[in-house]
Chain A
Amino acid sequence: MSTVAHENNHHDEHHHEESFVSKYIFSQDHKMIGKQFLMTAVFMGVVAMMLSIFFRIQLAWPGEESTFLNTFLGDNWAPGGIMKENMYLGLVTIHGTIMVFFLLTGGLSGTFSNLLIPLQLGARDMASGFLNMLSYWFFFISTLLMFASLFVYDGGLFGIQLGDAAAPLAEHTAWDGSGPAMSGWTIYPPLSGLPNAEQGSGLGMTLWLFSMGIFIASSLLGSLNYIVTVINLRTKGMKMTRMPLTIWAFFVTAILGVLSFPVLFSAVLLLIMDRMAGTSFYLSDIIVQGEMLANHGGSPLLYQHLFWFLGHPEVYIVLLPALGLSSEIIATNSRKPIFGYKAMIGSILAIGFLSFIVWGHHMFVTGMNPFLGSVFVFTTLLIAIPSAVKVFNYLTTLWKGSLVLTPAMMFAIGLVSTFITGGVTGIILADSALDIAIHDTYFVVAHFHIVMGMSAVFGMFGGVYHWFPKMFGRMMNTRLGYVHFWITIIGAYGVFFPMHFVGLAGAPRRYYDYTVYQEFDQGTYDMIMDLNVIVTFFAIFAAIGQILFLFNFFYSIFRGPKAPQNPWRSNTLEWTTPVEHVHGNWPGDLPIVHRWPYDYSKPGAEEDFIPQTIPLAEGEEEH
């Protein structure tokens, strides 16, 4: 591996005049770019959360007129206050897409990798400020395209007519149609590959594909930067084994991204070609809307393999940063080293590696060869081991600690709880024989929402609360933080826990309503509806709680109390920079690192923390 970085002392001496545009808009400073990612991700998160409230209302009270729905969705999508069936699918699709990619990938990696990698490594900035800036602006453009796709109507949007408004569904091309993509966030072809298979498969789907293509470019640019910076720009003394676990997590995440996103890109490209260039990668033997197609030889399973080859590492791209942030928050707020630092690194590496060989567990019932299925059962259950190791290490970190329950710490503890809960149901789903009966039911929905919608989101909240002083030089309000935490954990568990039972009862996902059950099993219908109502109430409760967070976040940016330099009494390097942002991070020389970042409550030390820059004392052993 490369040795530590060359001194970069002279960088800060050329003071570029920063205009408003170069400071706030086309910034090449990693701290500003991190904040830009955060703002965009928060906006998209609010949008996706609103979409989920809309379809939760539909699920709890199907067929009932709702002025709320009519107000937000208009007469096009909720005439008379009743949601249109295909718009339900559109909302579900865009909700999933935004949450997985824009909030949890852009908002976790984009924000915190950018903010923390240079700061925690003692670097002036990322390896390439320019590519970093491009990475954000590509992200922003893809956000616009994805958000705009919600407003597609009759082949046009915002007054621009791209398709034929008068064409009937059977004659739709890739530029026609109304509504966003409606094939689920996984957009399996042929439903997504045939513009005339449903309304959303026309222009809405085209915009989705272009948006994701650009998003992938953004992600790759960012990941390349992160990898190069971690390898090349560590300051003197910052060996790989002295890096905080956050950096290890971001580093492995970036490697996962670089290796897996291009495969999604290829899946997207082939789908674009099937839709617009008459190819047959995914299409074969199809009669749609009465029209017999000549496509032959393609396979929908090809798409699924390509998609999930990214799709699985993607969930670890989402989760690892959250775990990394929590490791830091838990260690700092327990005033104890993270237990098993090397084992934690090993787990991150193991999870990273294994994440590439488990994708088939999303495909047990697709008709792929059962032997292949067995292989994926084996590898998927293997990946439970490093995950379990991490949980046990977190528990042991808390044990005999001296806990300070800041809002960030609460979210980190909440993350461990939800990681356990969501992780164990993953074990059920990994067992292919069991998956047969619960694949594509609410059991799956419960599982991935608990690990992503709770664990990863909690990691993000914890990260925001903990590093807010570093990002904005001010403190968030603690009281509001507590109330936000409790509303969120109670609300979110209330939303996703009952879903396990809905799923075990066999209720499929992506169903507009469950009225079919009344034709064959009234008892189960009643149970599903009871639970749906409970879930929706908790969802509304949790959503309202987020208003507190948004208020706290924005208010504190402008009026929060000024932050001290090291409010959490933490060891890592980012807390040695001045509170006011300096381009180049340290006004003078770069810091020199003498120890690992987890010397909290070290016996023989006066303070209960020893920053990494403090040299070893006489006779002191490095850990």
Chain B
Amino acid sequence: MEKLIILIVLVTGVIALAQLVRVYELSSKLKDRGEHDITDRDNHLNAKLMLAFMMFQFLGFIYLMLKYGWTGRGEAASLQGVETDWLLNLNFIIIIIVFFITNFLLFFFAYKYVRKPGVKATYYSHNNKLEAIWTVVPAIVLAVIIIFGLRSWNSITSGPTKKSVRIELFAKQFDWTARYSGENNKLGKYDYKLTNEGNNPLALMTTETIESARIETEKTIKGLEDELKLAQLDHLASGYRNLISSSVYKNQIEEEYNSVIEKEFNLIEVEETFKHTYADAKGLKGHVNVVIPEPNAETQKIMDRLEDKLIVKGRILRSVIQMQQNYDSKYDTYAWDDIIQTDTLYLSKGTEYEMSFRSKDVLHSAYFPHFRAQMNVVPGMPTRFKFTPSLTTKEMRKKKDDSKFNFVLMCNKICGTAHYKMKMIVVVLTPKEFRQWETSKQEKIFKNTYAAGETEEPANSETNI
């Protein structure tokens, strides 16, 4: 019923609009002109509206600027953030001046030069000197912007120094894991093929993890091969059974099937057995040619999937074996003292952090808005970004007058359904507090957690300072 009323209202509205339009056309006809010929009245009305709109635009802009501030995220909390905020202000001043001047001229001209009776437009087609001026002046302004901008960019993207502390951020659908490099300030090597969700979720590389990955992969391959063989056996057995009418020989196939499935079997030998049973059933002698029908779509799909998985696992195994042969065990110590941390990222004020990033699955992006830092996280290609926090969380809370405020790491590259929830709280401590925290985590170094078989931080630990 409601839908019908809405429909009637819409139709009536359209008809009303149509009639209104007809009225305007007829009234123009009466005045002996086309409705499209713009009257002086319309011209002047719209000219005034142009000016009014300009006021709306300017006032709206100023209002938004004043109310929501130059930036809604507060003061920059990193050293380079302070520099880029200064650069942002400089650029904004330049563009705001341009914005106001050009928009003013535009709307003012649209108002002032509206057609007036007896006044002809001025035939002014070009002026090369003017063109030169307004090419060179913007070029100079842009040159200034480029120079300042690239200076900052070069400094921000410069490589790590001796004092840079290495941290890695590992991204996956849909959370972040941090890895501290420990005493030796060297991050352990890694390779995704070594991933073990239980005790090595970050796929760190040590002699032990490589060996364990090789064993795991071999086990998986064996399991897949067995499954495939079983599927093929099932198919053979049912195929042969269907070709045999006598229930006695059907049962014989059944027995032969049962006798092999519990242990290692050779598919070809078993098929020979089935063939003999079939021959006996049909009363045939000598070599028998049997063709059983192709597996149905369902079974074929399962077998194809198993074969695909075997190919993939085979490649992975070969790669792991190569890894094992090329690996130098001196790198073990790099990984053993790494500390893996989920849930909260702890940083020390004044420390220069050399962050590396990698992803488990798809593109993500490590975005620290308060530190003015961002770097995409790419599967298959490590990326890096360097910054130094310059405010502790406590200091920032005071500045923002918000006792519950926290710095944050947010994912900023679309990565799937829970992209909007993929964050990690970041806490910046004073160097002393940070050392205390670090000491408290020493028992959780990778060497210990790997042995113990778990690296998960229980949730809600230590997020309060």
Contact = CB atoms under 8 A, between A and B. Distances in A.
- Does chain A bind chain B? yes
Interface of A: 85-86, 89, 182-184, 188-191, 194, 197-199, 283-288, 290, 292-294, 296-301, 334-337, 339-343, 365-367, 370, 373-374, 377-378, 381-382, 384-385, 388-389, 391-396, 398-406, 410, 413, 416-417, 420-421, 424-425, 427-428, 431-434, 436-437, 439-441, 469, 475-480, 482, 486, 489-490, 493-494, 497-498, 501-502, 504-506, 508, 510-516, 519-524, 527-528, 531, 548, 551-552, 555, 559, 561, 563-564, 567, 598, 600-603, 608, 623
B263 interface: no
A401 B107 CA distance: 13
Contacts of A493: 57, 60
A462 B384 CA distance: 47
B260 interface: no
B87 interface: yes
B414 to A, nearest CB: 5
B43 A598 contact: no
A475 B34 contact: yes
Contacts of B49: 486
4 tightest CB-CB pairs across the interface, nearest first? A505-B72, A284-B380, A506-B369, A367-B383
A601 B123 contact: yes
Interface string B73-85: 1000000010010
Given A374-B154, A433-B84, A284 B379 contact: yes
Interface string B23-41: 0110000000011101000
A198 B417 contact: yes
B25 to A, nearest CB: 5
B342 interface: no
B105 interface: yes
Given A365-B365, A367-B383, A608-B121, A512 B420 contact: yes
Contact of B150 (A198, A377, A392, A401): A377
Contact of B92 (A86, A287, A428, A531): A428
Contact of B192 (A89, A287, A396): A287
Interface of B: 14, 17-18, 21-22, 24-25, 34-36, 38, 42-43, 46-47, 49-50, 53, 56-57, 60-61, 64, 68-73, 81, 84, 87-88, 91-92, 94-95, 98-99, 102-103, 105-107, 109-110, 113-116, 119-128, 130-131, 134-135, 138-139, 142, 145-146, 149-150, 152-154, 156-157, 173, 191-193, 195, 197, 311-312, 315-316, 319, 357, 360-363, 365, 367, 369-370, 372-376, 378-381, 383-384, 400, 402, 404-408, 410-421, 423, 425
A551 B42 contact: no
A381 B42 contact: no
B464 to A, nearest CB: 13
Contacts of B94: 427
A183 B383 contact: no
Given A194-B362, A505-B369, 6 more contacts: A285-B379, A339-B124, A395-B102, A433-B87, A511-B420, A523-B402
A60 B380 CA distance: 37
Nearest to A71: B3
A420 B365 CA distance: 31
Given A294-B312, A402-B113, A439-B412, A516 B423 contact: yes
Contacts of B421: 515-516
Nearest to A287: B360
A527 B71 CA distance: 11
A400 B375 contact: no
A198 B174 CA distance: 12
Nearest to B370: A506
A404 B43 contact: yes
A191 B363 contact: yes
Contacts of A405: 38, 42-43, 46-47, 50, 110, 114
A285 B380 contact: yes
Nearest to B421: A516
B373 to A, nearest CB: 7
Contact of B73 (A366, A504, A548): A504
B73 A197 contact: no
Contacts of A378: 146, 150
Contact of A427 (B18, B60, B95, B420): B95
B99 A510 contact: no
Given A431-B149, A477-B21, A520-B405, A385 B414 contact: no
A58 B315 CA distance: 45
Contacts of A401: 109, 113, 121-122
A555 B381 contact: no
B103 A420 contact: yes
A563 to B, nearest CB: 8
Contacts of B192: 285-287, 292
B88 A384 contact: no
A611 B332 CA distance: 83
Nearest to A569: B37
Nearest to B314: A294
Nearest to A433: B152
16 contacts: A85-B420, A188-B414, A198-B417, A300-B381, A343-B128, A398-B110, A400-B121, A402-B113, A417-B57, A437-B84, A437-B372, A475-B35, A478-B42, A498-B64, A524-B72, A567-B34
Max chain A C-beta neighbours (<10 A), residue from B50, B116, B192, B362: B362
Contacts of B157: 370, 373
Contacts of B365: 365, 440
B406 A301 contact: no
Contacts of A516: 408, 410, 420-421, 423
B72, B357, B408: which has the most chain A beta carbons within 10 Å? B72
B46 A482 contact: yes
A47 B38 CA distance: 33
Nearest to A369: B157
A501 B360 contact: no
Contact of B103 (A182, A399, A421): A421
A608 B115 CA distance: 12
